Amino acid sequence: MASIVDVELMPVAIHGDSSGECDGTVDTLVVRLVDENGLAGIGECDAPPTVAKAFIEMPSAHIWSLNPIDILKGRDPLEVTAIWQDIYDGTLYPGRRGLGIHALSAIDIALHDLAARQIDQPVYKLMGGARRPYNTPYATVFPGMPQGRSMDALMQIIGSRFARAVELGFRAVKLELMFDDLVDDDRLIDTIREARKMLGDDIRLLLDFAYRWRDWQDARRVLNRVASCDIFLAEATLQHDDLHGHARLSDHTDVRIGGGEFAATRWELREWIETAKVSVLQPDINRCGGLTEIRRIADMAELYGVQVVPHGWKTGITSACGQHFQASTLNAPHVEYISPHLFDSPLRRDLAPFDLQIEDGRVRLPEGPGLGAVLNDECVERYMVKNMVKIA
């Protein structure tokens, strides 16, 4: 056993104002755990990086409000599930959901990376081993928020990215329908039909409605009118916390309803199964509690006949996590994959480079030790948040 001797927290963010966009890759908190032999493992979470860092650095106050770094030091990273529980229990006051679980996710991913490197195996072997011969990522196509552009201009970008996705080898594509008030529901129906035409009939199409509706019957109307477009999944239809609305919608449409990208831990995802009655859970590995927790979420979902298709819009660290998760999971038909060739983001491309070779929609299972995404120290240095952001 080689125990953890160092915990490094690296908040990074691209410079400039991105507040009008919807891009989770503009910042991240990287957690690096180092063992006594100098081997390191990395993780990240999708939360404001300086805030997640402050959580991990909080001073110990009492048994339910302990400093996570103190819990980590001296531990054997192969005991990842036990360490997960100790941090969960030790941060019950400020943690349990939301930010505390985001921070724990980053730690848990780093523990998996480090433990797998120690035994010189890919992470998916720590997650139970290969359960499928190859992975099947889907590509997300997002032209960015309209920001003054017309629908014609946005559809042109969407069309060219569809073509590029197919050229890259993807056989499943998700379209982000974030058009602000450029489209009413009737125009949205036309847009989806046009998108299906552009993509052709052979590519699986997923749709992300970006929390468009507050009334499940409005969502039903649109979904039923695009039934001929063979939609594989409808994501973020209703408000995230409207679990009963999701249940009604699921009962009244043939399209698979998914959700839960902001949900944390198996406890919350269980509500998405039992109350929201979705067919597909879409937790984010870097928000739901890491690889330990998504393993348990998927095992739980299997009992209900529910699929798990993780959200993941971050750097190469999260992209790599998705591959190890799918490799070790039967009820995961796809994982979200942000291709650096389809969405231009310096942190996605350079922070921990990770790229896939896709052939006819299929990807070989990860090889080599750990996650397979290695931190680019130069990139960390360039984008490190050295001072707290000033709010004018």
**Least distance from Mg ion to the Cβ atom of residue 235, Å:** 5
* Residue closer to Mg ion, measured from CB, 113 or 261: 261
* Residue closer to Mg ion, measured from CB, 46 or 208: 208
* Residue closer to Mg ion, measured from CB, 35 or 208: 208
Q: Which residues 6+ apart lie within 8 Å of 124 measured at CB? A: 130, 323, 324, 325, 327, 328, 365, 366
**Least distance from Mg ion to the Cβ atom of residue 174, Å:** 8
Instruction: Report whether 208 contacts 22 (CB < 8 A).
Output: no
**Least distance from Mg ion to the Cβ atom of residue 311, Å:** 6
**Interface residue list for Mg ion (CB under 5 A):** 208
367 burial class (0-12, 13-18, 19+ CB within 10 angstroms)?
exposed
**Least distance from Mg ion to the Cβ atom of residue 206, Å:** 10
Instruction: Report whether 235 contacts 282 (CB < 8 A).
Output: yes
**Least distance from Mg ion to the Cβ atom of residue 239, Å:** 14
**Least distance from Mg ion to the Cβ atom of residue 169, Å:** 22
* Residue closer to Mg ion, measured from CB, 208 or 293: 208
* Residue closer to Mg ion, measured from CB, 32 or 314: 314
Q: Identify each DSSP E strand in the chain by its residue range.
A: 4-13, 27-35, 40-45, 138-141, 172-176, 204-208, 231-235, 258-259, 280-281, 307-308, 336-337
For the stretch 292-295, contacts whose Cβ atoms lie closer than 8 Å and that sit 24 or more positions apart, written own/partner, are 292/80, 292/81, 292/84, 292/108, 292/112, 293/84, 293/101, 293/105, 293/108, 293/265, 293/266, 294/325, 295/127, 295/128, 295/325, 295/328, 295/329
Helix (H, G, I), strand (E, B) or coil at 18: coil
| Angle at CA of residue 117, ends 112 and 119, nearest 5° | 100
**Least distance from Mg ion to the Cβ atom of residue 263, Å:** 13
* Residue closer to Mg ion, measured from CB, 282 or 323: 282
Rounded Cα–Cα distance for residues 349 and 373 (Å): 11
Q: Which residues 6+ apart lie within 8 Å of 162 measured at CB? A: 141, 173, 195, 198, 199, 203
Rounded Cα–Cα distance for residues 183 and 228 (Å): 20
Rounded Cα–Cα distance for residues 191 and 207 (Å): 11
240: β partners: none
* Residue closer to Mg ion, measured from CB, 175 or 373: 175
**Least distance from Mg ion to the Cβ atom of residue 205, Å:** 15
Residue closest to Mg ion when measured from CB atoms: 208
* Residue closer to Mg ion, measured from CB, 122 or 258: 258
140: β partners: 174
* Residue closer to Mg ion, measured from CB, 24 or 372: 24
**Least distance from Mg ion to the Cβ atom of residue 208, Å:** 4
269: β partners: none
Rounded Cα–Cα distance for residues 5 and 37 (Å): 9
* Residue closer to Mg ion, measured from CB, 116 or 269: 269
**Least distance from Mg ion to the Cβ atom of residue 24, Å:** 9
Structure tokens of 148? 């003054």
